[in-house]
């Protein structure tokens, strides 16, 4: 769906994006992670032909970008940074104008416009929208409207830059559930974010940018495979330590970190030794641990309020 080869963007002597080779496959929920200022927005803009690369190549839906971007844009829904809208018009009027201005597609005919606009508003939780102008909307409502604009033509591919910016926790969950549902119906989702918990809850595949370079790209399930350690909680930690004969790597009161590849076999061994087991938890690496392990300190930290990349012109 999206491939880039050695994609690079320079602004003078500054390399905002450095030799990035993305591989976004059909059916992915791909999360592009990176601290604020790592080049995410610049990269997303290049995928849509809004910023030209200094070197390297881009293919989206099998077409070269920016050369043939006009062929693929009708099949893409995009939300880039703060959603654009005519502030004096209602959200519904904005969507109708946006749809009317777009190229004709099988899912974009004038005959079905009203239904598609209503469906998009319902999907993002704005079905009860009134005639208030967009200038009266909260940031969260604007973000939902921007996502509705991305959905109104029923795209094959969604490209989203910080799609949950400005939303409260319930709104974030609603958008996450919507994207998972759209993906299940055949829509490939590509989003950039600096919010690790959201990417961890939503995405199946991740890439990590650090100072413009892609330092990691992998299936999330592979990255978060079991570590070979099990967290054991017991009312008799001394007996557990004795029964495990050197396999305990760390003890904190009644909690033990045990080097053991099979939690079920570990439980059986403890029970046979007369150790009362409260719980066993297979340890996996968190996305935070994974990302911080491959990123340096040259960019702003993860989890800060979303701001445009420092590299964005």
CA dihedral (194, 141, 135, 89) positive or negative: positive
What does the buried/exposed string (b/e) look like for 98-131 if buried means 16 or more CB atoms within 10 Å of the residue's CB?
bbeeeeeeeebeeeebeebbeebbebbbbeebee
66: preceding bond cis by omega (within 30 degrees) = yes
Quote the pLDDT of residue 104. 55
User: CATH 3.30.70.100 region(s) of the chain?
Assistant: 226-284
Taking the CB of residue 172, how many other CB atoms lie within 10 A of it? 20
Closest to 188 in 3D by CA, of 162, 158, 217, 218: 158
Quote the pLDDT of residue 107. 55
Collect the ranges in the chain with pLDDT lower than 70: 82, 101-110, 297-313
Taking the CB of residue 206, how many other CB atoms lie within 10 A of it? 24
Fold observed for domain 226-284:
Alpha-Beta Plaits (3.30.70)
pLDDT per position as a tens digit, 157-206: 999 998 888 788 888 898 899 999 999 999 999 999 888 889 999 999 99
Is residue 221 within 8 A of residue 204, CB to CB? The reply is: yes
Q: What is the secondary structure of 57-80 as a DSSP string?
A: EEEETTEETTTTHHHHGGGEEEE-
Fold observed for domain 2-222+289-294:
Rossmann fold (3.40.50)
Give, in order, the Cα–Cα distances in Å from 39 to each of 14, 164, 166, 200, 205: 11, 18, 21, 20, 19
| Structural Rg of the chain based on CA atoms | 24
Return d(Cα 177, Cα 200) in angstroms, integer. Answer: 13
Quote the pLDDT of residue 297. 52
pLDDT per position as a tens digit, 76-109: 999 987 677 888 998 889 898 888 766 555 555 6
Is residue 162 within 8 A of residue 193, CB to CB? The reply is: yes
């Amino acid at each position: 769906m999206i491939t880039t080869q050695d994609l690079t963007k320079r602004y003078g002597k500054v390399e905002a994006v450095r030799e990035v080779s993305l591989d976004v496959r059909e059916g992915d929920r791909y999360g592009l992670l990176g601290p604020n200022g790592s080049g995410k927005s610049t990269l997303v803009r290049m995928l849509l032909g809004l910023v030209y690369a200094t070197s390297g190549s881009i293919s989206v839906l099998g077409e070269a970008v920016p050369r043939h971007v006009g062929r693929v844009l009708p099949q893409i829904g995009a939300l880039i940074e703060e959603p654009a809208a005519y502030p004096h018009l209602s959200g519904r009027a904005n969507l109708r104008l946006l749809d009317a201005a777009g190229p004709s597609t099988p899912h974009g005919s004038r005959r079905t416009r009203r239904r598609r606009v209503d469906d998009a508003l319902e999907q993002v939780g704005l079905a009860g929208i009134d005639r208030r102008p967009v200038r009266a909307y909260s940031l969260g409502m604007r973000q939902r409207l921007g996502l509705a604009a991305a959905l109104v033509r029923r795209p094959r591919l969604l490209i989203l830059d910080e799609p949950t910016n400005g939303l409260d926790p319930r709104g974030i969950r609603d958008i996450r559930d919507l994207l998972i549902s759209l993906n299940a119906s055949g829509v490939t989702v590509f989003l950039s974010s600096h919010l690790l918990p959201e990417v961890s809850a939503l995405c199946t595949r991740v890439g990590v940018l650090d100072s413009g370079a892609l330092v990691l790209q992998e299936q999330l399930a592979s990255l978060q495979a079991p570590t070979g350690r099990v967290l054991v909680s017991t009312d008799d930690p001394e007996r557990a330590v004795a029964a495990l004969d050197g396999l305990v790597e760390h003890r904190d009161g009644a909690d033990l970190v045990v080097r053991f590849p099979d939690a079920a076999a570990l439980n059986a061994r403890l029970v046979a030794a007369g150790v009362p087991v409260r719980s066993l938890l297979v340890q996996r690496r968190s996305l935070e641990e994974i990302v911080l392990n491959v990123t340096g300190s040259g960019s702003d930290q993860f989890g800060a309020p979303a701001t445009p990349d420092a590299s964005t012109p």
